[in-house]
Structure 1
Amino acid sequence: MGNSPGAHALLFLLGLGLLAWLANWLTKHILLRSLRHLFRLFGIDRNELTPLHVIARLANIIPTVVLMLGIQAVPELPEMLVTVVQNVCSAFIVLTLALAVSGMLTLVNEVYQRRPDAHLRPIKGYIQVLKIAIFIIAAILVVANLIDRSPLILLSGLGAMAAVLMLIFQDTLLSLVASVQLGSNDMVRVGDWIEMPQLNADGSVIDIALHTVKVQNWDKTITTIPTKRLISDSFRNWRGMQESGGRRIKRSLYLDQQSVRFLSEEERQRLKRFSLLSDYLESKEEELANWNARLGKERQEQVNQRRLTNIGTFRHYVERYVRRHPGIHQDMILMVRLLSPTADGLPLELYCFTDTTAWVPYEGIQSDIFDHLLAILPEFGLRVFQHPSGADMRTLRPALAPSPGA
């Protein structure tokens, strides 16, 4: 048995396997441990971003090279078997290199994301495109090695398959174009608040990839949006509001139109107690007195005179109150206006901006203002309009009930 060709071949194969294992052991336990020790000397923690995982993957090439070269030295092996082993080893090396390059690109993206301005220009989509291209090239080379043919033969057949490839990678190509447009036009960044009602997305962008954009909604759910939809469909980006430093308040008080009237002399004197209105009322009374004095005999009739109204006075009060409010941005538009009457009352709209864009403080400022306006409204003889409720119906019931003698 010791002189048989099969025994010699088996011994050589066992020796070759042992040599490949030894090469793998030396690479993994000596080279990688030395590199880890070197990183620790420079104060780099093992949890930090390092290319060690890429080097560990590349280390798999060394025992593969030993097998690919050593298989030729094994005597009495069929030539076809030697060719198959070499082709498989070559394909494995190509695949390992592709995975190592992919890992390096991932490392580059993770390092880039640590920059403070990374959310302004995310590169994750471009990294994914490069990975796709690398794996396509690797797949062609692996197949070419396994069938022992030139890669050019496979590439020559890709022209006929172009239509099929375009169909297969249609979404990838559309997403690539969309990613380029989103980045070049600065339409979306990580951290932006976007609103896309047709896809039930209303929240902060947490990730921008090649095919998808992830949005964390305010109820903490995650909505995944195809990247191409951000180009083909409309969406609202609230970044402008966040960068401006002010958030808009646009809310109306619906007043009962039957409570609108002219102010009497007694009411005008009583409203002068308001520090926000005293100078306004005095200047307005002087203006109206001068205007009415030019009417001549016509001023005898009150219908010809200009007089103060409770709603006009209240409108000026609201504007002055808001201008003195510490939570309102005084450098942005601020106005109080009457809108067209509706069946639900006369809208008195407050249009202004808070000095913060944070949600909770914004709602607090808005509520504080309208709490005060609703409470102060009766001082002007005005009422808020509201539809009759059950309590109103019960109050009216005795008046509507027929009398006993009827």
Structure 2
Amino acid sequence: MEAKLITGYLNWAVETFDRWGVGESLLHTCATLLIAGGGLLLGWLLYFVLTRYVIPGVLKLVSFTEARWDDVLFNERLLRVVAELASVLLMQATVPPALEYYATLQSVAVLTFKILIVCVGVHLINRFLIALYELVEHTSSGRTSSLKGIRQMLQVVAVSVGVIIIISILAEKNPLTVITGLGAAATVLMLVFKDSIMGVVAGVQLTLNDMLRPGDWITVPARNINGTVLEVGLTTVKVQNFDMTIVTVPPYSLVSESFQNWRGMTDARGRRVNRAVTIDVDSVDFCPPEKIEEFRREEWWGALNADVRHVNLTLFRAYLEHYISQLPDLKTDPSMVYMVRELAPTPQGIPLELYLFTSLTSWKPYEHFQAAVIDHVLASVHRFGLRVYQAPSGRDIAMLANTYPKRLSETL
């Protein structure tokens, strides 16, 4: 219908120029320039009106709504691509029919506008994918922040399909025939784009299994990585180590190798403290009655029976559990137990382990909290007549030599 309309305008232009006295050799040229130029002008005017008046109006309209999704989906860049597509479609409907008297130019114009429509269509799909990604990222709890790799994969697929369609247009073949012909080159393409293909598959696995998100703290001992994930891309995962260095690692290496993700600690808002001190076995003994009388007046004694003999190490464990229970930063969720326990004796002594969780998950506050707890343990152990094992140093041997020089020389 549009072609017949443009042909009618073309014939009218020929008749008009003929009445104006234009030479017969220039009639078709002038009419073609007028109608084809008018088609190009209409396409430009449409783009101008859409970008100058319609798009700002749409942006103002969506800004009045409280919803977030329309602000993201109807963004200026996406709407400009829509305006480009509308203009190209209008020119495609007007310019080629105007070149009826020049078959070669008409075929070139038809081919050109088909390729332009495919290119603008792929551009529109990519802009829509970016807008959709931003919308999901802003409205999600964080998991879909790692969908960047999938978005990039879809963009690559869209561009690849566009390239295949353009090749089929130029070759005047069915796109399926072009795909079949590319099958012979699939092996070469897989070798060339091996990292990209493996990265795409690994990125999909990382995302769908929720193994990695931007902002996660991960450690990869095999690659000396210990830091925060900045970006999960199509072919690389970018991590900022705590020494502020940036490390990029292929996604497939995180799938094939083991890595530790500390997100569970952050989500639970509790970090484990698991430290032990070694008690000298020779210092373990029954508490004397005067010590029992001193301890029973303290709050931690609780319901302990003062009439039975108590081992100092047992009382020390009870004291430490009470001390831990009074810590302001102790995490006391049902799944986060705290206790003080004895491990199997070793040649160095009896390991006394403190097991608890703290609400301080940041590195520096956590280390300070952990150090304060151990400092308290070391400072209070002597009250119970216990000693912490420490291997003898050169200073200890020197003091022993000064105290017992003759006996030491005889022994040596």
Both structures adopt the same fold (TM-score exceeding 0.5) = yes
Alpha-carbon distance change, 41 to 108 in structure 1, aligned in 2, over 3 angstroms: closer
CA separation in 2, counterparts of 1:146 and 1:117?
A: 46
Alpha-carbon distance change, 73 to 240 in structure 1, aligned in 2, over 3 angstroms: closer
**Contact 2:273-2:357 within 8 A present in 1 as well:** yes
Residue identity in the other structure for 1:27: L
**Contact 1:12-1:74 within 8 A present in 2 as well:** no
> Is 1:70 equivalent to 2:95 in the alignment?
yes
For residues 61-110 of structure 1, give each alpha carbon's deviation from its aligned partner in whole angstroms, at most 9, with x where no partner exists: 42586378535645875x44543343233222211211111111111111
Q: Following TM superposition, by how much is the alpha carbon of 1:269 offset from its aligned partner in structure 2, in angstroms?
A: 3.7
Aligned to 2:353: 349
> Is 1:124 equivalent to 2:166 in the alignment?
no
For residues 348-367 of structure 1, give each alpha carbon's deviation from its aligned partner in whole angstroms, at most 9, with x where no partner exists: 11112224544444334323
Alpha-carbon distance change, 18 to 320 in structure 1, aligned in 2, over 3 angstroms: same
Alpha-carbon distance change, 394 to 31 in structure 1, aligned in 2, over 3 angstroms: same
**Contact 1:124-1:208 within 8 A present in 2 as well:** yes
For residues 222-256 of structure 1, give each alpha carbon's deviation from its aligned partner in whole angstroms, at most 9, with x where no partner exists: 43333333332222233333344432110012334
One of 227, 231, 245 as aligned partner of 1:207: 231
Residue identity in the other structure for 1:30: V
User: Over the residues paired in the alignment, what is the CA RMSD in angstroms?
Assistant: 3.9
CA separation in 2, counterparts of 1:5 and 1:389?
A: 111
**Contact 1:175-1:227 within 8 A present in 2 as well:** yes
Q: SS of the counterpart of 1:215?
A: strand
CA separation in 1, counterparts of 2:176 and 2:326?
A: 77
More moved, 258-267 vs 131-140: 258-267
CA separation in 1, counterparts of 2:221 and 2:351?
A: 27
Residue identity in the other structure for 2:379: A
One of 41, 64, 70 as aligned partner of 1:22: 41
Report the TM-score when normalising by structure 1: 0.76
For residues 6-63 of structure 1, give each alpha carbon's deviation from its aligned partner in whole angstroms, at most 9, with x where no partner exists: 8975x67865785466345423432112121342255369x95334323323434425
Alpha-carbon distance change, 400 to 329 in structure 1, aligned in 2, over 3 angstroms: same
Alpha-carbon distance change, 398 to 370 in structure 1, aligned in 2, over 3 angstroms: same
> Is 1:374 equivalent to 2:398 in the alignment?
no
CA separation in 2, counterparts of 1:36 and 1:240?
A: 45
Q: SS of the counterpart of 2:143?
A: coil
More moved, 391-400 vs 321-330: 391-400
> Is 1:43 equivalent to 2:41 in the alignment?
no
**Contact 1:340-1:346 within 8 A present in 2 as well:** yes
Aligned to 1:299: none
Aligned to 2:389: 385
More moved, 83-92 vs 119-128: 119-128
CA separation in 2, counterparts of 1:137 and 1:264?
A: 86
Residue identity in the other structure for 2:111: N
Report the TM-score when normalising by structure 2: 0.75
CA separation in 1, counterparts of 2:208 and 2:91?
A: 48
One of 143, 147, 170 as aligned partner of 1:146: 170
Q: SS of the counterpart of 1:43?
A: helix
Aligned residues: 378
Aligned to 1:110: 134
More moved, 12-21 vs 252-261: 12-21
One of 322, 325, 346 as aligned partner of 2:324: 322
Alpha-carbon distance change, 48 to 216 in structure 1, aligned in 2, over 3 angstroms: farther
Unaligned runs of 5+ residues in structure 1 are 289-307
Residue identity in the other structure for 1:286: D
CA separation in 1, counterparts of 2:237 and 2:256?
A: 14
Alpha-carbon distance change, 65 to 190 in structure 1, aligned in 2, over 3 angstroms: same
Residue identity in the other structure for 1:86: V
CA separation in 2, counterparts of 1:178 and 1:29?
A: 44
Using the aligned pairs only, state the percent identity.
33
Aligned to 1:286: 307
Q: Following TM superposition, by how much is the alpha carbon of 1:118 offset from its aligned partner in structure 2, in angstroms?
A: 4.8
Aligned to 2:124: 100
> Is 1:334 equivalent to 2:338 in the alignment?
yes
Q: SS of the counterpart of 1:59?
A: helix
Alpha-carbon distance change, 222 to 23 in structure 1, aligned in 2, over 3 angstroms: farther
Q: How does 1:394-405 map to 2 (within 5 A)?
A: 395=399, 398-399=402-403
More helix by share: 2
For residues 142-188 of structure 1, give each alpha carbon's deviation from its aligned partner in whole angstroms, at most 9, with x where no partner exists: 12333444434423313333434444454444444434444443333
Q: SS of the counterpart of 2:329?
A: coil
